[in-house]
């Protein structure tokens, strides 16, 4: 098992060994040449004859092309020479007359050169290479195991994740519990003729815990867990992906009952309709092999295929039909109770202070997923350690949440006094409008400490509960709150700044959705002019405009209504702030003094009518 699981590691080790071996071989060759190199002088034949007559030639070897030998130079030193052989009938007589030792040499034939110069050396190298790669070749893997599945197999001791370690998605947990029960006791279902789903597709946005759910399923069932990423099937060689799919399913059959988990399956399961212009034969072959394997797979053997994706809308329909991924489980973002449970799970690993209110932390993190909360808990622990605290307190968690949402504090950023004053009034305008409007979320904190790249200040609002529906009045109150910052600047300074750019963008989006998506405008009526682009399971933030279906008159009405509602909301924001101008001044002064104002201090300012 270990040998199969370490194919990739073995290939990398062999590559390193082969590179080192070649470098050492080249080095040794040049080293040998350097120490064994003999200086040979190339001399004319006439010089060779003169050296014979002078008695300086000691020995030579004669071939049909060259004459090689040794002579004594004028310094009495032995030197090697070579010269071209010529047709000289007197050469042998001269050599014998001067007592020169000589011998003949037959030039190698082409066959001898081929055998000893090429075949034997390369044959020897091939034999060494074959021995070294013998263990790396598999019956289905091909050369170097490229076709072998690069999956990780966790036996019964792993993964040690259980459902108790997973929080925030109770509905998904109940759905998966049935898979666990089937793996533990398949006869319970088979006796009634039922069968387990062949495949389970986990769908959710990044960070909700899809991979953790799969590991927890294997941990609860106590069966082997085979994990692989979708991108690991694809290789530069055509056919490798299909071979790895076959190897994966063969391994699953050997380990049954087990769970096979394919993470990011959209890497290989993308719809073939999307790839019509940019066809990828290797990806399509891999997908076809996966479809074929799932068709011929018998779930009664106790093998469950699980996969995860955050882009279900691009998956091939053939993957989602019954008989393949029979069950699609949506792992949604956690609600306030789910976030509270997730905080508790991660807080088990750290020392928590007595003042920590987990329920409040859950209210402060709407829309965040499990990965975000895990990061917040870790950041809070790091902040407490940096301050040498004996535990992680509420202030550390709040700072970690603000880091996650708004970015790092920029205490060293130099802001002019008049700009800081404008920011204080801007944020005070947001806070007072939110406090006065029933449809706005309660204010938790106001800050004029710069954060992130562009935020010079922010007003943090906490919803009391997770909201899934909003009325038109509540949406209008949110728009008024967004425009309150710009209105405060105009009331106090008589001019506006660029600081409201993000507020205006968000307010425009809300008003546009009121008119074009939710049928809440009197002039446009119930017609949906724009709709959100989304897939079968999840919705995205993009807007798909039905521009071709709208007349120019309708587009003009939409633009006019957007401007009209924004103007009405801005006028309402100004009215609220003018009626509470003394409170606006006091709140801004308090902000300039303290930089951060919490909800209790805001309440005191708003309920103090002594200066009105």
What is the number of other CB atoms lying within 10 angstroms of the CB of residue 460?
A: 19
The CA dihedral of 245, 247, 249, 252, to the nearest 10 degrees, is -140
Any idea what DSSP says for residue 409? B
| Distance (Å) of CA 100 to CA 23, 47, 56, 68, 82 | 45, 16, 9, 13, 15
Structure tokens at 70: 């040794």
Predicted confidence (pLDDT) at residue 402 exceeds the cutoff of 80: yes
Percent of the chain with pLDDT over 90: 19
Mean pLDDT for 29-56 is 76
DSSP-derived pairing of the beta strands 225-229 and 101-104: unpaired
Structure tokens at 203: 């769908």
- Is it true that 152-330 and 417-607 share their CATH fold? no
pTM tops 0.85, yes or no: no
Q: What is residue 154's predicted lDDT score, i.e. its pLDDT?
A: 54
Q: Please check whether residue 459 is in contact with residue 502, taking contact to mean a CB–CB distance below 8 angstroms.
A: no
Predicted confidence (pLDDT) at residue 550 exceeds the cutoff of 70: yes
Q: What is residue 542's predicted lDDT score, i.e. its pLDDT?
A: 47
Structure tokens at 394: 């509420």
Identify the CATH number of the domain defined by range 417-607: 1.20.58.760
347-406: which CATH number, 1.10.472.10, 3.40.1390.10, 1.10.8.60, 3.40.50.300? 1.10.8.60
Residue 550, C-beta contacts closer than 8 angstroms, at least 6 positions apart: 529, 558
Least confident of 131-145, 249-263, 424-438, 440-454: 131-145
- Of the candidates 109, 115, 114, 116, the residue with the CA atom closest to the CA atom of residue 64: 109
Q: What are phi and psi of 554, to 5 degrees?
A: -65, -40
Q: What is residue 106's predicted lDDT score, i.e. its pLDDT?
A: 61
Greatest alpha-carbon span in the chain: 138
Q: Please check whether residue 203 is in contact with residue 312, taking contact to mean a CB–CB distance below 8 angstroms.
A: yes
Predicted confidence (pLDDT) at residue 541 exceeds the cutoff of 70: no
**DSSP per position, 195-208:** ---SEEEEE--TTS
Write out pLDDT tens, residues 208-235.
888 888 888 877 877 788 888 887 777 6
Q: What H or E segment, with its residue span, contains residue 146?
A: none
**DSSP per position, 260-297:** EEEESTHHHHB-TTTTSSS--HHHHHHHHHHHHHHHT-
The whole-angstrom separation of Cα 127 and Cα 146 is: 21
The whole-angstrom separation of Cα 335 and Cα 205 is: 14
Predicted confidence (pLDDT) at residue 433 exceeds the cutoff of 90: yes
Q: What is residue 507's predicted lDDT score, i.e. its pLDDT?
A: 94
Predicted confidence (pLDDT) at residue 611 exceeds the cutoff of 90: no
Mean pLDDT for 250-266 is 84
Residue 343, C-beta contacts closer than 8 angstroms, at least 6 positions apart: 358, 361, 362, 373, 377
- Of the candidates 367, 349, 347, 366, the residue with the CA atom closest to the CA atom of residue 357: 347
Structure tokens at 555: 């587009």
Query: Three-class SS of residue 83?
Result: strand
Write out pLDDT tens, residues 80-121.
888 888 888 888 888 888 888 888 776 655 566 666 666 777
Q: Higher-confidence residue: 339 or 302?
A: 339
The whole-angstrom separation of Cα 36 and Cα 225 is: 60
User: Which CATH fold would you assign to the domain 40-105?
Assistant: 3.30.720
Q: Please check whether residue 571 is in contact with residue 582, taking contact to mean a CB–CB distance below 8 angstroms.
A: no
Average pLDDT, the chain: 79
427 catalytically annotated: yes
Q: Which of 52-66, 142-156, 304-318, 339-353 has the highest mean pLDDT?
A: 339-353
324 burial class (0-12, 13-18, 19+ CB within 10 angstroms)? buried
Structure tokens at 19: 């590179």
**DSSP per position, 519-551:** --BTTTBT---EEEEE-SS-EEEEEEE-GGGS-
For the chain, give every domain's residue range: 40-105, 152-330, 347-406, 417-607
Instruction: Give the architecture-level CATH label for domain 152-330.
Output: 3-Layer(aba) Sandwich (3.40)
Q: Which of 23-32, 168-177, 308-317, 341-350 has the highest mean pLDDT?
A: 341-350
Q: What is residue 32's predicted lDDT score, i.e. its pLDDT?
A: 58
Predicted confidence (pLDDT) at residue 420 exceeds the cutoff of 70: yes
Active-site entry in 293, 340, 402, 427: 427
């Amino acid at each position: 098992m270990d040998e199969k699981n370490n194919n990739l590691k073995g290939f990398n080790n062999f590559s390193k060994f082969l590179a080192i071996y070649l470098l050492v071989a080249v080095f040794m060759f040049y080293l040998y040449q350097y120490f064994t190199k003999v200086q040979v002088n190339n001399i004319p034949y006439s010089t060779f004859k003169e050296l014979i007559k002078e008695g300086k030639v000691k020995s030579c070897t004669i071939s049909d092309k060259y004459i090689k030998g040794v002579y004594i130079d004028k310094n009495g030193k032995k030197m090697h020479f070579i010269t071209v052989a010529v047709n000289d009938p007197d050469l042998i007589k001269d050599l014998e007359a001067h007592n020169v030792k000589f011998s003949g040499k037959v030039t190698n034939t082409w066959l001898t050169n081929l055998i000893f110069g090429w075949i034997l050396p390369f044959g020897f190298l091939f034999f060494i290479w074959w021995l070294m790669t013998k263990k790396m070749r598999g019956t289905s893997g091909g050369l170097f195991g490229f076709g072998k599945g690069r999956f990780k197999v966790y036996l019964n001791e792993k993964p040690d994740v259980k459902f108790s370690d997973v929080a925030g998605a109770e509905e998904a947990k109940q759905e998966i519990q049935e898979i666990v029960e089937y793996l533990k006791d398949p006869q319970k279902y088979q006796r009634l003729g039922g069968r387990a789903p062949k495949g389970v597709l986990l769908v959710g946005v990044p960070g909700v815990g899809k991979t953790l759910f799969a590991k927890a399923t294997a941990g609860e069932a106590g069966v082997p867990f085979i994990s692989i990423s979708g991108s690991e099937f694809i290789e530069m060689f055509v056919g490798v992906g299909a071979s790895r799919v076959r190897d994966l399913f063969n391994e699953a059959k050997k380990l049954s009952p087990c769970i096979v988990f394919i993470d990011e399956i959209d890497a290989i399961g993308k719809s073939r309709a999307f790839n019509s212009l940019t066809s990828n034969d290797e990806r399509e072959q891999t997908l076809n092999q996966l479809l074929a394997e799932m068709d011929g797979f018998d779930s009664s053997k106790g093998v469950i295929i699980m996969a995860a994706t955050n882009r279900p809308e691009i998956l091939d329909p053939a993957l989602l039909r019954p008989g393949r991924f029979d069950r699609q489980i949506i792992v949604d973002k956690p609600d306030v109770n789910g976030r509270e449970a997730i905080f508790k799970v991660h807080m088990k690993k750290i020392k928590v202070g007595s003042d920590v209110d987990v329920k409040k932390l859950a209210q402060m993190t709407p829309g965040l997923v499990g990965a975000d909360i895990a990061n917040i808990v870790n950041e809070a622990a790091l902040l407490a350690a940096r301050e040498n605290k004996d535990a992680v307190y509420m202030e550390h968690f709040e700072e970690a949440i603000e880091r996650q949402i708004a970015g790092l504090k920029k205490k060293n950023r130099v802001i002019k006094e008049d700009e800081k004053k404008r920011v204080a009034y801007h944020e005070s305008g947001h806070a007072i409008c939110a406090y006065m409007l029933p449809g706005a979320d309660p204010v938790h904190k106001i800050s004029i400490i710069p954060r992130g790249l562009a935020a010079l200040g922010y007003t943090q609002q906490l919803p009391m509960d997770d909201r899934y529906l909003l009325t038109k009045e509540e949406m209008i109150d949110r728009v008024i709150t967004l425009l309150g910052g710009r209105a405060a600047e105009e009331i106090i300074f008589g001019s506006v700044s660029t600081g409201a750019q993000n507020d205006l963008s968000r307010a425009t989006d809300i008003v546009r959705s009121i008119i074009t998506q939710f049928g809440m405008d009197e002039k446009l009526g119930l017609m949906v002019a724009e709709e959100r682009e989304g897939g079968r399971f999840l919705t995205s933030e993009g807007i798909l405009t039905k521009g071709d279906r709208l007349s120019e008159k309708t587009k003009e009405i939409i633009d006019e209504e957007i401007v009209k509602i924004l103007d009405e909301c801005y006028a309402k924001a100004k009215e609220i702030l003018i009626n509470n101008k003394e409170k606006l001044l006091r709140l801004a002064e308090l902000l300039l003094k303290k930089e951060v104002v919490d909800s209790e201090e805001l309440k005191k300012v708003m309920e103090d009518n002594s200066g009105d």
